[in-house]
């Protein structure tokens, strides 16, 4: 049985669809565990032949019945998929996958998205395109913090604070560490960047101070 990293385990735990497509499955670990431990029907999908072959070899070894699809994004997603997981790519790439696959995305029940960067752009895109972020959490792995978003259709009020730092975020110890890490990063930059070039930093520090004051610890 494969032992998943904290990040992959958190993604696995939030997958609750009946038929799940793991977009950009790469190693195939989450797909495998979803099939073996949650009994889900899974499509393991990747745009590149190499990763998909790696996943296929793993599934064969484990005798797991998982369909592997070589495809770009979600345009050609099978109709029975009700949930997609997209993790380990940048937010901009996720936006282009959702934009190109608008029609398919409109039929999904939910999406689990975990961008490695540009999370604020992804949040803005989702809310401007009639999705709502139902819950979020932050996972720390090494020196990186990864957001995980559980997304459904619906309306949500945009907020600059939430675009940057999360909607319905689970405010646990990892999130606290993330906020403190961001705060220290922008504070250090403040000392080394001329004030005229620190507009983004000023905005971020104000938002982070709001979060830190609210939590009052
Ligand atoms: C860094 S891996 C992430 C693997 C896994 N999802 C995770 O979170 O650990 C990114 C994978 O996404 C795939 N990928 C990149 N662009 C894609 C696209 N447009 N459609 C499907 N897969 C894509 C890459 O080939 C690669 O295997």
For residue 145, pLDDT beyond 90: yes
Two tokens, residue 32: 């495998």
Q: Cα angle at 105 between 114 and 122, to 5 degrees?
A: 35
Give the confidence band of 214 by pLDDT, cuts at 50, 70, 90.
confident
Rounded CA-CA distance 186/189 in Å is 5
How many angstroms separate the alpha carbon of residue 85 from the centre of ligand 1?
Answer: 11
Q: Ligand 1: which residue has its CA nearest to atom 9?
A: 88
- Per-residue confidence (pLDDT) for residue 216, from 0 to 100: 56
CA torsion, ordered 41, 46, 50, 56, to nearest 10 deg? 10
CATH architecture under which domain 6-170 falls: 3-Layer(aba) Sandwich (3.40)
Rounded CA-CA distance 64/143 in Å is 34
Give the confidence band of 2 by pLDDT, cuts at 50, 70, 90.
confident
Give the confidence band of 5 by pLDDT, cuts at 50, 70, 90.
very high
Which of the listed residues 46, 74, 99, 101 should we mutate to test ligand 1's pocket, taking the one with most ligand atoms within 8 A of CB? 46
Mean pLDDT of 69-87: 98
Give the confidence band of 207 by pLDDT, cuts at 50, 70, 90.
very high
Rounded CA-CA distance 89/118 in Å is 10
Rounded CA-CA distance 187/131 in Å is 33
Mean pLDDT of 93-116: 98
Percent of the chain at pLDDT > 70 equals 99
Task: Please give the biggest Cα pair distance in the chain.
Answer: 60
Q: What is the mean pLDDT of the chain?
A: 96
Give yes or no for residue 23 CB within 6 A of ligand 1: yes
- Per-residue confidence (pLDDT) for residue 215, from 0 to 100: 80
How many angstroms separate the alpha carbon of residue 54 from the centre of ligand 1?
Answer: 13
Domain map (residue ranges) of the chain: 6-170, 171-217
How many angstroms separate the alpha carbon of residue 189 from the centre of ligand 1?
Answer: 32
Q: Ligand 1: which residue has its CA nearest to atom 25?
A: 48
For residue 217, pLDDT beyond 70: no
Q: How far is CA 61 from CA 1, 41, 52, 66, 210, in A?
A: 12, 18, 14, 12, 51
177-202 tens-digit pLDDT: 999 999 999 999 999 999 999 999 99
Give yes or no for residue 46 CB within 6 A of ligand 1: yes
């Amino acid at each position: 049985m494969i032992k998943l990293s904290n990040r992959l385990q958190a993604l696995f735990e939030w997958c609750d669809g009946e038929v799940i497509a793991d977009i950009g499955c790469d190693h195939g670990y989450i797909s495998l565990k979803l099939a073996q431990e949650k009994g889900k029907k899974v499509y393991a999908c990747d745009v590149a032949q190499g990763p998909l072959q790696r996943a296929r070899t793993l599934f064969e070894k484990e005798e797991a019945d998982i369909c592997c699809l070589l495809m770009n994004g979600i345009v050609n997603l099978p109709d029975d998929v009700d949930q997609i997981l997209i993790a380990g790519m940048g937010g901009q790439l996720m936006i282009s996958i959702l934009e190109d696959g608008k029609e398919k995305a409109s039929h999904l029940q939910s999406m689990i998205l975990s961008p490695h960067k540009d999370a604020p752009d992804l949040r803005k895109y989702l809310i401007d395109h009639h999705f709502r972020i139902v819950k979020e959490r932050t996972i720390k792995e090494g020196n990186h913090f990864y957001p995980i978003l559980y997304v459904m259709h619906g309306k949500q009020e945009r907020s600059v604070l939430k675009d940057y730092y999360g909607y319905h975020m689970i405010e646990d110890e990892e999130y606290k560490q993330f906020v403190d890490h961001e705060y220290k990063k922008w504070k250090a930059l403040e000392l080394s960047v001329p004030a005229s070039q620190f507009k983004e930093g000023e905005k971020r520090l104000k938002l982070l101070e709001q979060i830190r004051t609210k939590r009052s610890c």
